[in-house]
């Protein structure tokens, strides 16, 4: 109860001074992470935060489920653009290559580490969070197709990575007697159940809210509450029948986005605001966890791994995968560069902390926190210069490359 009171008080204080803090580049994630470090970190915290509970784990999982739902609705909106934006190549080629390079980077920096743990680390540090570059995405100087490519990739890659993360963690913590085939079968069943639950509930909810608005049975303000309920209900139903709650929420969001053409995008504002609020709580937990993970300092290996993940593992596969598409070289470079890490990596890191053995969890958490902090600095600092650069290039464009489509 004390932790909840502190979080709500912080939310109020941040809200009333948010514009002033924004002038100093102090965002809500930074505010809540620092609060977690100051108030709930260390050996004698002012506000103890007990992470080793079933309730806390479920709460963190719900944060990710709601985020995946909102990401899916946003991605579907951009996916309706008539021209291709390279989404097939970004998700089908660049993302697997990026994960593979992240695993190899881990093997190089942390020799002797098991491959399953290296895979978990890669899956924790690769998901995108576009919040740190929101100003870039809303900047009219940035070509729409660049913004669309980042939004679609950011919306879908979390949904694709989450079941892989669950599977790799299960391989590390599985009880004796659980073979790889058993784990693979269980993961497949969980994903299948999740897709079925997400499809049924997402499609049904979409049809019901559209019919309710068209028939005059409900007003748009009421339908905001309906949208808010969908990811929570979907996650709960999927978990109850043994499905993956993350995948179910993501699939439900893809289907529920169909209702936006009738209800309007404002019908999703409440669930999006709730997602942001829940993310703030995850940042607070992240700050608390940071003090414990870095109590003995940060090693050069951790910093090197974070740099390789941000500067090589994502950048090269994206730039190469988009060769032959309508994107110019500067646009490909911008898409490759802007893959900021944030709250999804934070949530995965917290879940790894709760699930993995202590030594493994410590390595994953350190890698995640170093990557997120480095991303916040470098991507935040380069967003405005990149927008200016793209604006100058668009004002004096070179001959466009041949358009061959994407994927």
Indicate the range of 10-14, 329-333, 369-373 predicted with least confidence.
10-14
Closest alpha carbon to 262 in 204, 199, 207: 207
In sequence order, the 6+-apart residues with CB closer than 8 A to the CB of 395 are none
Helix segments in 216-299, DSSP class H: 220-240, 245-256, 260-263, 269-293
Q: What pLDDT score was predicted for residue 395?
A: 61
Q: What pLDDT score was predicted for residue 293?
A: 73
Q: Residue 204: pLDDT above 90?
A: yes
The rounded distance, in Å, linking the Cα atoms of 247 and 269 is 22
Structurally, at CATH architecture level, domain 28-37+68-395 sits in Up-down Bundle (1.20)
For 225-230, which contacts have Cβ atoms below 8 Å and span 24 or more sequence positions? Answer: 225/270, 226/267, 227/256, 227/267, 227/268, 227/270, 227/271, 228/270, 228/271, 228/274, 230/69, 230/201, 230/202, 230/205, 230/256, 230/271
Half-sphere exposure of 214 (CA within 13 A, CB side): 10
Q: Which two tokens stand for residue 157?
A: 């890659």
Q: Residue 234: pLDDT above 90?
A: yes
The rounded distance, in Å, linking the Cα atoms of 64 and 273 is 14
- Top-confidence residue, 150 or 135: 150
Q: Residue 221: pLDDT above 80?
A: no
The rounded distance, in Å, linking the Cα atoms of 380 and 341 is 11
pLDDT band at 398 (very low <50, low <70, confident <90, very high): very low
pLDDT in tens, 151-182: 888 878 888 888 899 889 888 887 555 666 77
**DSSP H or E stretch at residue 162:** helix 144-173
pLDDT in tens, 237-268: 999 998 888 889 999 998 998 887 777 777 88
Orientation angle between helical segments 95-109 and 300-308, nearest 10 degrees: 160
DSSP-assigned letter for residue 399: P
Residues constituting the chain = 407
Q: What pLDDT score was predicted for residue 96?
A: 94
Q: What pLDDT score was predicted for residue 22?
A: 66
Q: What pLDDT score was predicted for residue 123?
A: 95
The rounded distance, in Å, linking the Cα atoms of 50 and 347 is 16
Q: What is the DSSP annotation of 9-29? A: HHHHHHHHTHHHHHHTT--HH
Mean pLDDT taken over the chain: 83
For the segment 270-287, the average pLDDT, to the nearest whole number, is 85
For the segment 49-54, the average pLDDT, to the nearest whole number, is 73
The rounded distance, in Å, linking the Cα atoms of 76 and 79 is 5
For the segment 319-340, the average pLDDT, to the nearest whole number, is 90
Q: Residue 354: pLDDT above 80?
A: yes
User: 216 — alpha (psi -120 to 50), left (phi > 0) or beta?
Assistant: left
The most confident of the ranges 108-122, 156-170, 220-234, 259-273 is: 108-122
User: Where are the chain's structural domains?
Assistant: 28-37+68-395
Closest alpha carbon to 282 in 73, 66, 21: 66
């Amino acid at each position: 109860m004390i932790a909840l009171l502190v979080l709500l008080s912080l939310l109020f204080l941040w809200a009333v001074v948010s514009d002033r803090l924004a002038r100093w580049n102090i965002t809500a994630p930074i505010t809540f992470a620092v609060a977690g470090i100051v108030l709930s970190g260390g050996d004698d915290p002012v506000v103890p935060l007990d992470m080793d509970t079933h309730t806390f784990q479920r709460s963190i999982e719900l944060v990710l489920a709601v985020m995946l739902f909102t990401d899916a609705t946003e991605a579907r909106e951009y996916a309706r653009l008539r021209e291709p934006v390279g989404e097939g190549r970004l998700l089908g080629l660049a993302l697997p290559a990026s994960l593979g390079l992240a695993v190899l980077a881990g093997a190089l920096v942390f020799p002797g580490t098991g491959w399953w743990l290296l895979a978990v680390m890669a899956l924790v540090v690769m998901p995108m969070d576009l919040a740190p570059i929101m100003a870039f995405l809303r900047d009219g100087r940035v070509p729409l197709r660049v913004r669309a490519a980042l939004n679609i990739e950011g919306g879908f890659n979390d949904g694709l990575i989450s079941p892989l993360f669950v599977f790799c963690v299960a391989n590390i913590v599985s009880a004796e007697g659980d073979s790889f085939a058993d784990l693979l079968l269980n993961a497949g069943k969980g994903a299948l159940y999740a897709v079925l639950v997400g499809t049924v509930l997402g499609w049904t909810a979409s049809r019901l809210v559209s019919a309710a608005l068209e028939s005059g049975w409900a007003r748009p303000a009421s339908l905001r509450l309906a949208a808010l309920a969908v990811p929570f209900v979907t996650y709960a139903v999927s978990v109850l029948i043994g499905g993956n709650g993350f995948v179910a929420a993501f699939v439900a969001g893809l289907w529920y986005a169909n209702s936006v053409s009738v209800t309007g995008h404002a019908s999703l504002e409440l669930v999006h605001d709730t997602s942001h609020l829940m993310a703030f709580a995850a940042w607070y937990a992240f700050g608390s966890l940071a003090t414990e993970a870095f109590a003995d300092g940060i090693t050069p290996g951790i910093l090197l791994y974070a740099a390789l993940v941000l500067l090589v593992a994502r950048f090269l596969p994206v730039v190469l995968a988009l060769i032959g598409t309508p994107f110019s070289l500067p646009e490909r470079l911008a898409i490759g560069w802007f893959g900021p890490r944030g709250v999804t990596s934070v949530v995965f890191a917290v879940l790894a902390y709760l699930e993995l053995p202590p030594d493994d969890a410590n390595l994953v958490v350190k890698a995640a926190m170093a990557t997120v902090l480095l991303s916040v600095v470098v991507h935040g600092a380069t967003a405005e210069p990149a927008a200016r650069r793209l604006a100058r290039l668009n004002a004096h464009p070179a001959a466009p490359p041949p358009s061959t489509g994407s994927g």
